[in-house]
């Protein structure tokens, strides 16, 4: 209704219009109250999937640039601490990828104040435990301790981050531990075969195709032996800078005491620039790969195959991220139904995303009997075709979103799970000034958004199909071994006969 034109009418007309408007407003008001009730009810329904108070927290930045997230939760008598250092495998070139992992191990091997044994005893005797992990793009230090001894936990974590000795002796000892963790030191022959591309895995070839120029998986196996103490120390100086870290503390603690202690410990770390931090490489443009990528002599022996459909996508902060989450959950169910329940051709088909900040991949995966590889590929293609024909309709979309939201609702219960989420997603705060409300954003995903992600990524020009298939089955391997043993025995028998024939006979 154009109110301006109404008030330009003569007086009698204006009186009649005002009367009509009064009735109109009365009707609108009743409808508005009803609509508001629905909206309020929807908001309650939408927010019920989030953990109570999950996004209500205290975030601040220390003078030295370290991000700190505090979340008091007094339901359990524990405090969880997570320290995220922005360093991972992808910060180093091929041949040096284990540098960050190596450094993570070394920080637990002793400080100027305590030996490794003393550090372990210090944490355990105060009701705590700690660990660490290194991924492609972060190193995460985790500690959980009885709430009364939060001070001990924070002080000891600060001690290993700032006071570890990283001695030559500990370097060599940790090198052996890292080898054990990764399955043992590879033989020189196997290393040579990989470095010269005589042996290549299908997944390595596929990922290097999807992410060209990034050497996502290096040709060499031994990324540990070539890392020197000097290189570890240089990585420590370059990356273990306060401004390159985020600290999350969640649990039964008093905020004022936590802030005071953090200021005295981590806040005392010097303010330094990040000049030594090198940006992680970004892959070049990708335009798909015709045919199927397979490995070379890797694995050598096996009983089944694994199939991958890999689509190059945007990263964690692309506009399609939440739609990709919906697609991931949709195809998890579809592949399971078609490949396991309906045909019994797979044990654990799956769909998942593998995302960095700026790029990633959407992956459909299934195990397969060796004789069923081609049929399994066709079934995945069929699932994709059914989806494109509209199998994910509005009702199905609602069901998929509800599944995601229900999983999210039960996914974060412990102090540690809260702290880990905050530490690993601190980039949200840097970009948006707050943590994005995952549940609300999943609720907002529409059919149009899912179709947009499909058009952007799920097309053949953006696809690599890889099959991990053994060179030999176990039967073929055993037959080959028996054949070789037979040939060796035959050769030995011939040699013995020749020797006997050459001996002079006694007259």
412 three-class SS: coil
Kindly report which listed range (107-111, 409-413, 492-496) carries the lowest average pLDDT score.
Answer: 409-413
Q: Note whether 79 and 262 are within 8 A (CB).
A: no
pLDDT-derived band at 40 (thresholds 50, 70, 90) equals very low
Report the mean per-residue pLDDT for the chain. 88
Q: What is the model's pLDDT at position 218?
A: 78
Q: Note whether 331 and 383 are within 8 A (CB).
A: yes
**For residue 254, how many other CB atoms are within 10 A of its CB?**
12
Q: What is the model's pLDDT at position 311?
A: 97
Non-local (6+) Cβ contacts of 482 within 8 A are none
Distance CA 68, CA 71 (A): 10
Q: Is the pLDDT of residue 15 over 70?
A: no
The residue that leads in pLDDT, 305 or 178, is 305
Mean pLDDT of 61-68: 98
61 three-class SS: strand
**For residue 44, how many other CB atoms are within 10 A of its CB?**
9
The topology under which CATH files domain 292-470 is Cytochrome Bc1 Complex; Chain A, domain 1 (3.30.830)
**DSSP state, residue 462:** G
Q: Is the pLDDT of residue 507 over 60?
A: no
pLDDT-derived band at 31 (thresholds 50, 70, 90) equals very low
Spell out the long-range contacts of 54-58 with Cβ–Cβ below 8 A and sequence spacing 24 or more. 54/412, 54/418, 55/434, 55/435, 55/437, 57/422, 57/435, 58/255
Q: Report how far Cα 491 is from the mean position of its chain's Cα atoms.
A: 54
pLDDT-derived band at 130 (thresholds 50, 70, 90) equals very high
pLDDT-derived band at 41 (thresholds 50, 70, 90) equals very low
- Most confident among 51-60, 164-173, 258-267 (mean pLDDT): 258-267
Q: What is the model's pLDDT at position 327?
A: 98
Non-local (6+) Cβ contacts of 132 within 8 A are 104, 107, 108, 139, 140, 141, 142
Phi then psi dihedrals of residue 358, to 5 deg? -115, -5
Q: What is the model's pLDDT at position 409?
A: 87
Q: Is the pLDDT of residue 425 over 80?
A: yes
Mean pLDDT of 92-97: 90
Q: What is the per-residue pLDDT across 360-419, written as a single tens digit (0 to 9) for each?
A: 999 999 999 999 999 999 999 999 999 999 999 999 999 999 999 999 888 888 999 999
Q: What is the per-residue pLDDT across 75-91, written as a single tens digit (0 to 9) for each?
A: 889 999 999 999 999 99
pLDDT-derived band at 214 (thresholds 50, 70, 90) equals confident
Q: What is the model's pLDDT at position 111?
A: 96
Mean pLDDT of 245-256: 98
Sign of CA dihedral 328, 349, 336, 291: positive
68: left (phi over 0), alpha (psi -120 to 50) or beta: beta
Q: Is the pLDDT of residue 2 over 50?
A: no
Q: Which among 360, 419, 423 has a CA at the least distance from the CA of 138?
A: 423
Sign of CA dihedral 418, 420, 423, 424: negative
Q: What is the model's pLDDT at position 179?
A: 85
Q: Note whether 60 and 419 are within 8 A (CB).
A: no
Distance CA 145, CA 196 (A): 48
Non-local (6+) Cβ contacts of 154 within 8 A are 81, 249, 258, 261, 262, 265, 266
Q: What is the per-residue pLDDT across 219-237, written as a single tens digit (0 to 9) for each?
A: 777 778 889 999 999 999 9
Residue 80, class by beta-carbon neighbours within 10 Å (0-12 exposed, 13-18 middle, 19+ buried)? buried
Q: Note whether 104 and 160 are within 8 A (CB).
A: no
CATH of 58-185+222-268 given 1.20.140.10, 3.40.50.300, 3.30.830.10, 3.30.70.520: 3.30.830.10
Distance CA 477, CA 35 (A): 71
Q: What is the per-residue pLDDT across 436-476, written as a single tens digit (0 to 9) for each?
A: 999 999 999 999 999 999 999 999 999 999 999 999 999 99
**DSSP state, residue 193:** H
Distance CA 300, CA 261 (A): 55
Q: Is the pLDDT of residue 280 over 50?
A: yes
Distance CA 84, CA 428 (A): 14
73 three-class SS: coil
Non-local (6+) Cβ contacts of 101 within 8 A are 89, 134, 139, 178
Q: Is the pLDDT of residue 30 over 50?
A: no
| DSSP H helix total and E strand total for the chain | 18, 13
Q: What is the model's pLDDT at position 42?
A: 32
Kindly report which listed range (22-26, 55-59, 201-205, 274-278) carries the lowest average pLDDT score.
Answer: 22-26
Q: What is the model's pLDDT at position 506?
A: 63
Q: Is the pLDDT of residue 123 over 70?
A: yes
Distance CA 274, CA 243 (A): 7
pLDDT-derived band at 47 (thresholds 50, 70, 90) equals low
Distance CA 138, CA 280 (A): 11
In DSSP notation, 192-236 reads HHHHTTSSB-HHHHHHHHHSTTS-SS-S-S-SSTT--HHHHHHHH
Distance CA 286, CA 296 (A): 23
Q: What is the model's pLDDT at position 505?
A: 65
Q: Note whether 88 and 137 are within 8 A (CB).
A: yes
Q: What is the per-residue pLDDT across 194-213, written as a single tens digit (0 to 9) for each?
A: 888 889 899 989 999 999 98
Q: What is the model's pLDDT at position 287?
A: 82
Q: What is the per-residue pLDDT across 136-154, written as a single tens digit (0 to 9) for each?
A: 999 999 999 999 999 999 9
Helices (H), 65-142: 99-106, 116-124
Give percent of the chain with pLDDT exceeding 90: 74
Q: What is the model's pLDDT at position 186?
A: 82
Mean pLDDT of 26-52: 45
């Amino acid at each position: 209704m154009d109110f301006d034109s109404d008030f330009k009418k003569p007086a009698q007309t204006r009186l009649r219009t005002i009367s009509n408007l009064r009735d109109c407003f009365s009707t609108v008001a009743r409808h508005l109250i009803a609509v508001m009730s629905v909206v309020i009810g929807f908001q309650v329904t939408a927010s019920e999937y989030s953990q109570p108070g999950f996004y209500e927290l205290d975030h601040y930045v220390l003078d030295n640039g370290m991000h700190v997230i505090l979340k008091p939760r007094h339901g359990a008598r524990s405090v969880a601490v997570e320290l995220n250092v922005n360093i991972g495998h992808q910060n180093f070139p091929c041949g040096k990828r284990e540098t960050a992992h190596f450094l993570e191990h070394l920080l637990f091997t002793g400080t100027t104040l305590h030996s490794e044994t003393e550090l372990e005893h210090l944490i355990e005797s105060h009701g705590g435990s700690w660990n660490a992990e290194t991924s492609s793009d972060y190193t995460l230090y985790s500690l959980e301790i009885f709430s009364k001894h939060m001070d001990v936990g924070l002080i000891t974590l600060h001690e290993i981050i700032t006071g570890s000795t990283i001695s030559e002796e500990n370097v060599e000892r940790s090198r052996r531990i890292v080898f054990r963790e990764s399955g043992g030191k590879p033989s020189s022959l196997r290393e040579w075969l990989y470095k010269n591309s005589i042996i290549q895995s299908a997944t390595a070839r596929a990922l290097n195709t999807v992410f060209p120029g990034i050497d996502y998986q290096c040709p060499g196996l031994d990324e540990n032996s070539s890392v020197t103490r000097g290189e570890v120390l240089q990585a420590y100086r370059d990356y273990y800078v306060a401004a390159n870290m985020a600290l999350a503390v969640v649990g039964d603690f008093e905020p004022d005491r936590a802030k005071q202690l953090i200021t005295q410990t981590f806040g005392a770390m010097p303010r330094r620039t990040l000049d030594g931090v090198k940006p992680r490489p970004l892959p070049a443009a990708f335009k798909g790969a015709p045919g199927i990528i397979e490995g070379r002599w890797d694995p050598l022996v096996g009983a089944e195959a694994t199939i991958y459909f890999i689509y190059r996508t945007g990263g964690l902060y692309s506009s399609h991220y939440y739609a990709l989450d919906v697609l991931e959950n949709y195809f998890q169910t579809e592949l399971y139904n078609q490949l396991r329940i309906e045909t019994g051709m797979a044990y654990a088909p799956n769909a998942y995303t593998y995302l960095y900040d700026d790029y990633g991949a959407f992956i459909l995966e299934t195990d397969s009997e060796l004789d069923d590889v081609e049929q399994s590929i066709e079934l995945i293609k069929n699932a994709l075709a059914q989806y494109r024909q509209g199998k994910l309709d509005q009702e199905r979309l609602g069901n998929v979103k509800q599944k995601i939201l229900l999983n999210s609702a039960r996914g974060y219960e412990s102090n540690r799970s809260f702290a880990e989420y905050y530490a690993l997603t601190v980039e949200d705060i840097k970009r948006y000034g707050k943590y994005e409300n995952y549940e609300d954003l999943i609720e907002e995903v529409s059919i149009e958004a899912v179709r947009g992600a499909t058009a952007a990524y799920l097309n053949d020009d953006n696809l690599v199909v890889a099959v991990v298939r053994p060179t030999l089955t176990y039967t073929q391997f055993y037959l080959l071994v028996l054949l070789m043993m037979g040939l060796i025995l035959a050769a030995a028998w011939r040699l013995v006969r020749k020797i006997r024939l050459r001996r002079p006979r006694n007259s």
